[in-house]
Structure 1
Amino acid sequence: MSAAQPWGFTDDRGTELGAARVPERVVAYVRAGAALLDLGVTPVAVYGSGHDGPAYDPAKAGGLDAAGVPYLGPGRALDEELLRELRPDVIVDVTYDGKSPYALDEAVADRLAVPLAALSVGNELTLPEILDRFRELAGSLGAGAGAGTAAADPTDLAGAEDFLRGVAGRTGLAVLALSGAGPDQVHLARPQAWPELARLAALGVRLLDPGPGPGANWLTADWGRAAELRPDLVLFDNRFHAVPPYETPPGTRLAAWNPETPPSPAAYARFFRELAEALAA
């Protein structure tokens, strides 16, 4: 696709975006930017969420830091003048509710007169559908087939899924996904609320549900509740703002989980293979 051609894309809020030419200067939320990099589109800069600090979170950066993509800090505290100086042609964010961008106030994009694309990462789409939407956006931005800094080949993801399916079927281990909030509190993930966890379940991973209580995505409890569920393996949130597990039954295996894994085949292939290896250990 030539940059001289008109560009159009409809995001997952139903917002129709357009430009006189294909955008070349992309600024993105770090999760979206890492996925685009895997898919062959290198952002000129990325920004974080309200959970992020002034530097890259290694769990969320993917290949961005190594590729030299500048990080601008949390989106809600973004320096608008600095963003203006970057001359973005398009801003790419994610949305969890299908209505609003997650990490950047849309008014910022409006004031800069820059189109903002928000792609869904919530549970109204399956993980394969989410990956397809990011591929569509990357393709519209000029990414060539098979381009990318990492193995974006969908057959690699299929191979990782087959590997995980086989291991999960042989071991039958019970898996609990959680995000540590401190020594006295933990957020226990509801598997069907997370597209990647729902995908794990579809691949045969035996995920534990934390049970009834408040919270659509998480049940917030103490660490004793996590131990009561008797997981064989704990998938723990490895983002910078989360804490490692404080209390698990003796012999429980641990594996890292980034609830904001970049939505690219390469990133999820890595995650699925790492989980399979942890289950098989």
Structure 2
Amino acid sequence: MSGPVLPRRGFLASAAGLAAALTLAACGGEPAATGGSAPAASAPATPGAAQGWTFTDDRGKKVERPKAPSRIVAQVGAAAALWDFGVRPVAVFGPHKLKDGSKDPQVGNVDLAKVQGLGNVWDEFNVEQYIALQPDLLVSSMYVKGTLWYVPEKSKDTIEQVAPTAGIMLTGRSATQVIGKYEELARSLGADMQGVPEAKARMEAATKELARFGNLKILMMSGGADAMWVVNPPEYPDIVHLMDAGLDVVKPAKVDEGGFFQTLSWENADEYDADVILYDTRTQSLKPEEMMKKPTFAKLPAVKAGQLYPWNAEAPYSYQGYAAFLEGLVANLKKAKELP
């Protein structure tokens, strides 16, 4: 699945649906990359580290250190969130570079020249480099409680022996709750919070505007070569946020094992009526021009009306990330109308 909910690439995995998620979410196909030179061993992640640091993560695990961690390694989604709050990890893992060498959007504002890359695809994590970095904290999101996203099962025990880990739960929460947890972590680490109040105000303003579009039936989906995935709203923090704000998002009648989406053949792309379709923009997903080659999809009323808009399915869980995501969505929905 940011790798696809899918691995910014498959759709998100659950314990039962992990195999599907690996296909949709973890099989990104980008080449391995290191993301730039490693920072100096003494480079701090954040200013103002306090003595006697503790943080309770979403596993209920209390992480304790003699002082606030400064050498932080983070999965790319977690790194993108923390970066916007002012935390500077020394390394990242998970999809951060595309095939052409450019930055993967899911890594957000992270400067890849200032972090080490420990792995760029599913099941890839350079343990030797990780140990050499002498980290004092690893941070990752979780789609399944207790399972750190993109930490390989085969090397999990070794990785967790090197440094304490912190997991932030995504599934079943709203984006506001997830962002709040990352903010709590960042503040505990001494982050400077530069630009955060302004971004929070932008996010709140855009969220209020969404209520204007409650009359529109919205379908959120991702496209693959042989299938179309209709997402199940309760499992996605961003969609929970949109629905809490007043949007009417299609909920599939029958979800696949794992609960994250319903798989439809392209011949059945017209299973649900919608005024607007939001499509997954991640690199593992088909582009609009590719989906338009599927006859049933091309004939959908929303598609024919030009009401097919991008969905940034892995916007960083920060106020900056969500301000940009929601402002773009508001701008597109202003162009849409109810269809007969």
TM-score w.r.t. the length of structure 2 is: 0.73
Residue equivalent to 2:272: 229
Q: In the alignment, does 2:78 pair up with 1:45? A: no
Structure 1 contact 55–71 (Cα < 8 Å) conserved: no
Pick one of 258, 262, 265 that aligns with 2:319: 265
Q: Secondary structure at the match of 2:134?
A: coil
Q: By how many angstroms is 1:226 displaced?
A: 2.9
Pick one of 283, 292, 309 that aligns with 1:255: 309
Q: In the alignment, does 2:153 pair up with 1:153? A: no
Mapped to 1, the partners of 2:284 and 2:101 lie a distance apart of 12
Per-residue CA deviation, residues 71-93 of structure 1 (Å, 9 max, x unaligned), is 33236321111112222221101
Q: Which sections of structure 2, spanning at least 5 residues, go unmatched?
A: 1-46, 292-296, 336-340
Residue equivalent to 1:122: 171
Instruction: Judge which range, 94-103 or 208-217, deviates more.
Output: 208-217
Mapped to 1, the partners of 2:59 and 2:113 lie a distance apart of 30
- Trace 1:15-54 onto structure 2 (pairs within 5 A): 15-48=61-94
Q: Which amino acid aligns with 1:121?
A: L
Residue equivalent to 2:338: none
- Trace 1:45-194 onto structure 2 (pairs within 5 A): 45-48=91-94, 58-65=104-111, 68-72=114-118, 73-74=120-121, 76-105=123-152, 106-111=156-161, 113-123=162-172, 125-144=173-192, 146-147=193-194, 153-166=199-212, 168-169=213-214, 172-182=215-225, 184-194=226-236
Give the direction of change, closer, same or farther, for the CA distance of 1:10–1:55 in structure 2 (3 Å limit): farther
Mapped to 1, the partners of 2:143 and 2:110 lie a distance apart of 23
Whose strand fraction is larger, Structure 1's or Structure 2's? 1
Q: Which amino acid aligns with 1:214?
A: D
Q: By how many angstroms is 1:279 displaced?
A: 0.8
Structure 1 contact 25–87 (Cα < 8 Å) conserved: yes
TM-score w.r.t. the length of structure 1 is: 0.87
Pick one of 228, 232, 245 that aligns with 1:203: 245
Q: By how many angstroms is 1:160 displaced?
A: 1.3
Mapped to 2, the partners of 1:11 and 1:152 lie a distance apart of 27
Q: By how many angstroms is 1:152 displaced?
A: 6.1
Mapped to 2, the partners of 1:75 and 1:7 lie a distance apart of 31
Instruction: Judge which range, 63-72 or 203-212, deviates more.
Output: 63-72
Q: Which amino acid aligns with 2:307?
A: R
Q: By how many angstroms is 1:119 displaced?
A: 0.5
Mapped to 2, the partners of 1:143 and 1:237 lie a distance apart of 31
Q: Which sections of structure 1, spanning at least 5 residues, go unmatched?
A: none
Mapped to 2, the partners of 1:76 and 1:110 lie a distance apart of 15
